[in-house]
């Protein structure tokens, strides 16, 4: 085992992919300078500005450029600096990338990775803090990956780059700099495979991205009270490893779904609906959802802290399933 960070594993995965396959290139605003969080730092020194392409602030066009290059045989890794700005690229992503393979009767493929990051907690205000992944999960043709840990982000990014489909890779800015233990050699992680991070027989907690750590903290607290929670990180939302979730619920008979995105219309609703359809008879309590309130993210520290769902909310939700 070795100590590293979520962010350094992203950079390492980009280096590895670009060394292994000359078709891979990185494109986005400030990527040659490393970007605001240094995710692409050092790439330009090894691969040059031909393969590490800085762009103007033109999210719509650069997404289109990446799609055109992808369907012409290249493997672009496009960075959209904040997921909040993906709104500007959605026409390309939704109307072009997601549908090109389908609408062409299978002639075109778009092996594009769109890396972006979301999440609140850094006083970024309502336009730099959102969790918008559920928008993307609603679009057939896109895959949506949402890593929570340094240990598997390398493998997930490698699989995303190797995938023949457009993949939206949603990082979380508050996870970037945490020191974490990872195996010496990063393990391959297939897209569509969940990971059970803690075994337990009393309640299943499915958590996304930053909420995975919060769910593990809640599980520790529950364990002190004699309740064993099983914590599952789906890692990819589309395709979703529903089998792993349903298998767990069949044993625990209780489910909490937790994410930072606004609860209303969030991906937790999809998981809850899918689980009740597959395992209604196994549920001993209503499925509980944890998510942010139906408001924009506030700026003021006291307001933002109160807004953000965390371990307390996950704990309370788990408790609610046990009443």
What residue ranges bind other proteins (CB under 8 A)? Answer: 23, 25, 50-51, 55-56, 58, 60-74, 76, 91-92, 95-96, 99-110, 140-141, 143, 164-165
Could you tell me the smallest distance in angstroms from the CB atom of residue 99 to other proteins?
8
Could you tell me the smallest distance in angstroms from the CB atom of residue 1 to other proteins?
35
For residue 300, give Cα distances in angstroms to 134, 185, 292, 307, 311. Answer: 26, 41, 16, 10, 21
Could you tell me the smallest distance in angstroms from the CB atom of residue 139 to other proteins?
10
Instruction: Count Cα neighbours of 265 within 13 Å in the Cβ-side half-sphere.
Output: 9
Q: Which is it for strands 2-5 and 52-54: parallel, antiparallel or unpaired?
A: unpaired
Rounded CA separation 104/107 (Å): 5
Q: Which residue, 110 or 205, is less far from other proteins as judged by CB?
A: 110
> Omega into 239 within 30° of 0, i.e. cis?
yes
Q: Which residue, 162 or 217, is less far from other proteins as judged by CB?
A: 162
Active site residue: 29, 79, 101, 128, which one?
A: 128
Rounded CA separation 146/152 (Å): 11
Rg, Å, the chain Cα set: 19
- Nearest partner of 134 among 194, 196, 208, 233, judged by Cα: 208
Q: Which residue, 101 or 289, is less far from other proteins as judged by CB?
A: 101
Question: Ramachandran region of residue 308, left (φ > 0), alpha (ψ -120 to 50) or beta?
Answer: beta
> Is 75:111 a contact under the CB 8 Å cutoff?
yes
Q: Which residue, 12 or 108, is less far from other proteins as judged by CB?
A: 108
Tokens at 26, concatenated: 């990185």
Q: Which residue, 143 or 254, is less far from other proteins as judged by CB?
A: 143
> Is 118:82 a contact under the CB 8 Å cutoff?
yes
Instruction: Count Cα neighbours of 1 within 13 Å in the Cβ-side half-sphere.
Output: 8
Q: Is 128 a catalytic residue?
A: yes
Instruction: Count Cα neighbours of 107 within 13 Å in the Cβ-side half-sphere.
Output: 3
Beta bridge partners of 116: 80, 170
Q: Which residue, 163 or 230, is less far from other proteins as judged by CB?
A: 163
Active site residue: 59, 79, 214, 230, which one?
A: 59
Q: Which residues are catalytic?
A: 59, 128
């Amino acid at each position: 085992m070795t100590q590293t960070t979520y962010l350094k594993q992203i950079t390492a995965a980009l280096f590895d992919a670009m060394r292994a396959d000359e078709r891979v290139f990185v494109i986005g605003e400030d990527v040659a300078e490393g970007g605001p969080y240094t995710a692409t730092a050092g790439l330009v020194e090894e691969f040059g500005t031909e393969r590490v392409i800085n762009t103007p602030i033109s999210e719509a066009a650069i997404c289109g450029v990446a799609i055109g290059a992808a369907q012409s045989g290249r493997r672009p890794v496009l960075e959209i600096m904040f997921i909040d700005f993906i709104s500007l690229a959605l026409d390309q992503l939704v109307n072009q990338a997601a549908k090109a393979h389908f609408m062409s009767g299978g002639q075109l493929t778009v092996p594009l990775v769109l890396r972006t990051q979301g999440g609140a907690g850094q006083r970024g205000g309502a336009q730099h803090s959102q969790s918008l992944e559920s928008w993307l999960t609603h679009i057939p043709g896109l895959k949506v990956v949402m890593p929570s840990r340094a240990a598997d982000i390398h493998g997930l990014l490698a699989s995303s780059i190797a995938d023949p489909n457009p993949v939206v890779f949603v990082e979380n800015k508050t996870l970037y700099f945490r020191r974490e233990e990872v195996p010496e050699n990063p393990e391959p992680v297939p897209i569509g495979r969940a990971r059970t991070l803690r075994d337990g027989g009393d309640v299943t907690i499915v958590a996304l991205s930053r909420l995975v750590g919060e769910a593990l903290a809640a599980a520790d607290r529950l364990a002190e009270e004699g309740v064993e929670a099983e914590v599952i990180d789906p890692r990819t939302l589309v395709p979703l490893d529903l089998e792993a979730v349903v298998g767990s619920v069949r044993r625990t008979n209780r489910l909490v779904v937790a994410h930072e995105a606004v609860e209303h219309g969030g991906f937790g609703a999809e998981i809850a609906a899918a689980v009740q359809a597959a395992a209604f008879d196994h549920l001993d309590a209503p499925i509980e959802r944890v998510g942010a309130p139906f408001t924009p993210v506030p700026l003021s520290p006291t307001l933002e802290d109160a807004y953000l769902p965390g371990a307390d909310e996950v704990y309370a939700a788990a408790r609610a399933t046990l009443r």
